[in-house]
Structure 1
Amino acid sequence: MIKSINHDVNFLTQSAKTATKADSATVTDLIDTLQAHQADCVGMAANMIGVNKRIIICRMGMLPVILINPIIINKTGSYITKEGCLSLIGQRTTTRYQSIEVTYQDQSFVNHQQKFTGWIAQIIQHEVDHCEGILI
């Protein structure tokens, strides 16, 4: 189901709780909501649709990829960039890393550890920040 975008800074700055299999409806909602905002959005965190769980979605090309309970365990190559967010007005400067390594679970709650670089690494960092209650 397409959900409205949450703009409540007090909610968005809370650390997200660990997601479980009981949160599978949130995965579907994130997929639907990202699809509805595909013209101006490449990633979302569950708290952006009002659910305080560690679930993110990132568009990798045409495919939306779900990362459940993502944790960045390594990062290299810092750089400064500007980012926008559907939950916030305007763009802000932030530090990101060219290469990251992430542990996460897929939609079947199978554990993964994977390296990401470039644009997709930047998207994942933005969404993981949402899970940590960090806003750009």
Structure 2
Amino acid sequence: MIRPIMKNEFFLQQQSEDATPLDAPIARDLLDTLALHAHECVGMAANMIGQRKRIIVFMDGETPRAMMNPEIIAAKGPYETEEGCLSLDGRRPAKRFRTIRVRYRDLAFEEHTETFEEFSAQIIQHEIDHCNGVVI
């Protein structure tokens, strides 16, 4: 189901709670909402649709992916950049890492650890920031 985009910065600054297997429908709603906004957005976190759960979705190249309870466990290659956000106006500075290692659960709640680089890594970092209540 497509959900409206949350614009309330106070809400976006709240830390998200861990997701459970029962939260898989939120991830599906996020994927549907991301698909609608594909022309202007490459990633979303659950708080962007009003759900304070540690769930993110992102475009990994041409493939939409979902992560539940993502956690960056290693990062290297820091750099400065500017990012936009569907929930916020304008572009803002951000510090990111070129390579990250992420532990997460998939929609079946199976645990994975995976390495991401460059743009995919940047998107994931932005969305995990959302889960942590960090607004760029």
- Shared fold (TM-score, shorter chain, > 0.5): yes
Corresponding residue number in structure 2 for 1:49:
49
Gaps of 5+ in 1: none
Aligned to 2:8: 8
Give the structure 2 partner of residue 80 of structure 1: 80
- 2:118 is aligned with 1:118: yes
The one-character-per-residue Cα deviations of 1:18-42 (angstroms, maximum 9, x if unpaired) are 0011111101100110000000000
If the length of structure 1 is used for normalisation, what is the TM-score? 0.98
Letter of the aligned partner of 2:58 in structure 1? Answer: C
| Secondary structure of the corresponding residue to residue 121 of structure 2 | helix
Runs of 4+ in structure 1 off by over 3 angstroms are none
Alignment-mate amino acid for residue 112 of structure 2 = H
Look up the SS of the partner of 1:90 in the other structure: strand
Letter in 2 for 1:132: N
**Counterpart secondary structure, 1:26:** helix
Aligned CA-pair RMSD: 0.6
Look up the equivalent residue of 2:59 and give its one-letter code: R
- Superposed CA deviations along residues 46-91 of structure 1, whole A, max 9, x for unmatched, are 0000000000001012211001000001111100000000000000
The corresponding residue for 2:90 is 90
TM-score (normalised: structure 2): 0.98
Equivalent residue letter for 1:37: H
Separation (CA, whole Å) in 2 of partners of 1:97 and 1:30: 25
Partner of 1:25: 25
Q: Which residue number corresponds to residue 63 of structure 2?
A: 63
Unaligned runs of 5+ in 2: none
Q: Percent of aligned positions with the same letter in both sequences?
A: 49
Q: What is the count of residue pairs matched by the alignment?
A: 136
Cα shift at 1:129? 0.2
| Residue of structure 2 equivalent to 1:131 | 131
